[in-house]
Structure 1
Amino acid sequence: MPDFRAHRHPVLAVRCPDCGKAPGLWCIRRSGPRANELHLSRRAEADSVFAEQHGPEASIERDGDGWTINPHGRAGIRPQAEDA
């Protein structure tokens, strides 16, 4: 089970589907050097695994030098029904 709080960036908790880099290792370009950004497919995979693990309302937030998981983090950003 990936630990999204264990890495310098939460997306690093999962293996990259594009370049195959293992959890904890930064993505590389097809030509070999380190990529400037993590691959989009890896970000999507991390989002999917995170939602499965913590629920669709959860979010991960910066906490000093680390990360913390807020189980109700996304609930506050959803549009609320207006009272009639």
Structure 2
Amino acid sequence: MSDFTAYPHPVLAVPCPDCRRRAGAWCQRPSGHKASDFHLARKAEADRAFIERHGPDASIVRTAGGWSIDPRGRVGIRPTPEPRQGNLL
């Protein structure tokens, strides 16, 4: 199970489907050099795994000590929709 708070960046919690680097290791270019960013497939896999584990409303927050999971995410700051009044036509 992926621990999104254990690494310097949450995306590192999953292995990369493109370059096959293990969890915790930075992505690698075909030349063998360190990539300047994560592969898109790894970012997508990290999103999928995070939502599967923590739910669609959770978020990850950078703290002074690293990363923290907020199960409510940004739900608490989203505006609630105004109730609709009557027919708008």
TM-score normalised to structure 2 length: 0.87
* Whole-Å separation in 1 of the counterparts to 2:82 and 2:68: 31
Alignment of 1:35-50 (within 5 A): 35-50=35-50
Flag structure 2 segments of 5+ consecutive residues without an equivalent: 85-89
Deviations 1:2-56 (A, max 9, x none): 1000000000000000000000000000111000001111010000000000000
| Cα distance in structure 2, aligned partners of 1:71 and 1:5 | 13
1:77–1:39: structure 2 CA closer, same or farther, 3 Å change rule? farther
Higher Cα radius of gyration: 2
Q: What secondary structure, in the 3-state scheme, does the structure 1 residue paired with 2:60 have? A: strand
What pairs up with 1:1-84 in 2 under 5 angstroms?
1-76=1-76, 78=78, 80-84=80-84
> Which letter maps to 1:75?
V
- Name stretches of at least 5 consecutive residues in structure 1 with no aligned partner: none
After superposition, the CA RMSD in angstroms is: 1.4
How many aligned positions are there? Answer: 84
State the identity as a percent. 57
